[in-house]
Amino acid sequence: MIADGEALLGLWFDGHTEDADDDNAVWTDDLPIFGLAFRWLDEYFAGRKPKVHVPIRLEGTPFREEIWALLREVPYGETVSYGELAHRLESKCADGRKVSARAVGGAVHHNPVGIIVPCHRVIGADGSLTGYAGGLDVKARLLRLEGVLEKPD
């Protein structure tokens, strides 16, 4: 996790910190924002929709920020396809621009606040599980936790 003291800037799985580089970072574990994030994660991994509000500041290209905002609108226990996210963004664009599912996938891949900004809820158009920074097994576990996928016998 990384924060600026007021907002969460990044949350990654172990070994997935490619976007966590910040030359101005000060490493500490006693920021109040971390307590909020840990409470959110505790609720989530207990199988409940978290009610804790974690302030987040997402920084990226305007396109990525638009996609990340759409990700935050995908409700707990639901999924959306990359193509559907592309259509949602197109419908918000007054200039009539077209957005490809592949471009959406690139933006989703660079989501700096995994789980809380729910990129794991994005699936293929055919309902298949596709790419996830934590691995497809983790994506499946998260979706099972939310009741999207059936738990294995």
| Structural contact between residues 54 and 33, judged by C-beta atoms closer than 8 angstroms | yes
Position 75, amino acid: P
Cα–Cα distance for residue pair 25/4, rounded to 1 Å: 8
119 is catalytic: yes
Cα–Cα distance for residue pair 126/82, rounded to 1 Å: 11
DSSP state of 151: P
Q: Which of 58, 67, 119, 123 is catalytic?
A: 119
Query: Could you give the residue numbers annotated as active site?
Result: 119
